[in-house]
Chain A
């Protein structure tokens, strides 16, 4: 069964303390892996798409990497405004459409000043 698992469920960091979030997946024929950020009371906001093992994408303090079985979201020197829930998702093919996203349950990140 296609599945996306994220760890840890929650992470508390001090400002400037770098760390990584993990997303492992079991889908056949990966057609990309998406990272989203969700703030309280808001919808998920798109961050990155990764398509092949070895690919990396960066945005400010965030860097996403992809292997054949998992993806990491590295957060370098985080700031309090990086506090949010980070979600990863993979598309599952559905009658030719590949935008049926299977989401993980997210990692709730809290960065304390």
Chain B
């Protein structure tokens, strides 16, 4: 089976940097994805790491360490609109995703 653990909630102030961690246990590993979901909205893809290291996309970066079964999402220059839930996920055979429980990020002014 597959399981992913991430903190349930994180709070940060506008303009700050926040890191959301994710640890996983999988039978077979293809990579780690991150999705953002605003309340009542659809999950939207943010990033995917197949190899160790840091991937940067604008204000968002994602890191993976396969040896530690660990990854994180880094959000810089936080904006109010970044308040949302963030999910790490691993694809299985056929690419169906197993999601973590989600981290609710609250950005305060």
Do A and B originate from a single complex?
no
